[in-house]
Structure 1
Amino acid sequence: MHTPASMVTGIVFAPLGLVLVFTAAITPQWREGQARLGGASQAMGGAKGTELLLLRSDGLWESCLQVADSELRECWPVSGPYRRDVRVRAAQGLVLSSLFLCGAGIVLASIAVRCWTHVPLRNVAAGGGLLVALSGMLSLVALGVYTHHLSDLGVGLASTTSEFQGLDVHKLPSLALHPAGSLYFGWVGAWVQVLGGVALLLGFRRLQCPPWPHSERAEAYEVSC
């Protein structure tokens, strides 16, 4: 089968970008910070007055709190001011739309390649590439909005942090929040989606064979490469 290299590149990059963005979307490490909290009670397994280092992380749908150098960790669905923040909700909607469009684009591109025939469907592949590229742009917008306002997004704690009953977690000192690993996965995945979509779009261009050198009357003609 004569499949253009651009199509092959696109059909490889698009699923890779989808996996990276999906991984970023479901993991709670879009931003993280740490704070020292004194006065841990004996319920936490330490002497009263012991200073603990708490690690806080937030994702699009989940937040987590962990005691450093300990297995004590609790996660809960995003809540409070953070969940209600319009920028967080916008990022959630954009990422979900991106995942849906990228999946649809991959299906179209897979059909277009048509491994059981010798001629790929270039128009269908270009349509799939357009969806994949658009999904990457939506992911970039979501990541840009979140990153730009990262430190301004509300910080809320769930009222059911049962494992942290020995700590006054609702009076945590202000956290110095910064980008975390999931955010970087998202950036890489979004750009891979854009590149995959552009590669599929390039496959839309038909190649032309040059005129036969020994014939003055020969003309260029289109082929399905």
Structure 2
Amino acid sequence: MGIVFAPLGLVLVFTAAITPQWREGQARLGMTGLGSLLRSGVRGQGMGVRTGSVEALLLLRTDGLWESCLQVEHSELKQCWPVAGPYQRDPRVRLVQGLVLTSLFLCGAGIVLACIGVRCWTDLPLRGVAATGGVLVVMAGLLSLTALGVYTHNLGRLGMPEPSHGITNPRFPHLSLRAAGSLYFGWLGSCLQVLGGGALLFSFKQPKCPTCPSCPELPACPACQSCPEITNKPDTDGYEVSC
């Protein structure tokens, strides 16, 4: 369970980190200048539209941790660029970026330790190494959950001027922001990391070696090979290993 869930969680969190759909918003185009610009761009692609149809189009905006995109709905007009301006300088965005990068690093290190500790190609695992990897994976999941919680809680205020400042810009339409698909990938991946790390941390038990009836203080493997109760049993009864 841990070996499957931890890498799957890492892939999902990494996918969420590099995609620009952490939040999305849309606004109806109502400016003549911007409508003319978009109309000329659409005509440049061989798509003739009327002024009224341009004004009726919706402007779709998506923001991620490192990239933002702008697209006109029902058209091929789309532009993406690295995050910049107030959104990039927002301390909450920088905090989320740092937490996500730290989470990815810890989860990768935990998976490496878990693979070394599990050692499915041998009889006994290195329980301490595997448990250490599980701790790192759990910490990675908690960090990514914290980052997602901070971003979701402040989703509509990231990079926006405070209302008390009274700063408004009538040149740009108002965007109604909401959570986008990358957040859900992140939530799912973080939960899988916590579950996988917990499985690695608690699933390994000490080998159960039976004792010789004539010498109860001695373990039967391999100190008491002369005990008939032990030597007549199959080897698989000597210990139990969860791998």
TM-score greater than 0.5 by the shorter chain: yes
1:55-80 per-residue CA deviation (whole Å, 9 max, x = no partner) reads 00000000000000001100000011
Is the contact between residue 10 and residue 200 of structure 1 (CA under 8 Å) also seen in structure 2? yes
TM-superposed CA distance for 1:216, in Å, is 9.8
- Matched residue pairs, number? 203
5+ long unaligned stretches in structure 1: 1-8, 157-168
Residue in structure 1 matched with residue 187 of structure 2 by the alignment: 187
TM-superposed CA distance for 1:218, in Å, is 4.9
TM-superposed CA distance for 1:117, in Å, is 1.5
Give the alignment's Cα RMSD to 1 decimal.
Answer: 2.5
Find the aligned partners of 1:210 and 1:67 in 2 and give their Cα distance: 71
TM-superposed CA distance for 1:154, in Å, is 1.1
Please list, as runs of the form range in 1=range in 2, the aligned pairs for 1:7-26 lying within 5 A after superposition: 9-26=1-18
Highest CA radius of gyration, 1 or 2?
2
TM-superposed CA distance for 1:113, in Å, is 1.5
Q: In the alignment, residue 106 of structure 1 is paired with which amino acid? A: I
Find the aligned partners of 1:224 and 1:77 in 2 and give their Cα distance: 53
1:48 aligns with one of 48, 51, 65? 51
TM-superposed CA distance for 1:208, in Å, is 4.0
Residue in structure 2 matched with residue 3 of structure 1 by the alignment: none
TM-superposed CA distance for 1:209, in Å, is 6.2
Q: Structure with the greater relative contact order (CA < 8 A, sep ≥ 6): 1 or 2?
A: 1
Find the aligned partners of 1:174 and 1:220 in 2 and give their Cα distance: 77
SS at match of 1:55: strand
Moved over 6 A (4+): 209-212, 219-222
SS at match of 1:171: coil
Residue in structure 2 matched with residue 104 of structure 1 by the alignment: 109
1:122-174 per-residue CA deviation (whole Å, 9 max, x = no partner) reads 00000000000000000000000000000011159xxxxxxxxxxxx992221
Residue in structure 2 matched with residue 144 of structure 1 by the alignment: 149
5+ long unaligned stretches in structure 2: 44-48, 162-168, 220-237
Please list, as runs of the form range in 1=range in 2, the aligned pairs for 1:62-211 lying within 5 A after superposition: 62-154=67-159, 171-206=171-206, 208=208
Find the aligned partners of 1:198 and 1:58 in 2 and give their Cα distance: 32
Q: Percent identity?
A: 66
Q: In the alignment, residue 13 of structure 1 is paired with which amino acid? A: F
Residue in structure 1 matched with residue 166 of structure 2 by the alignment: none
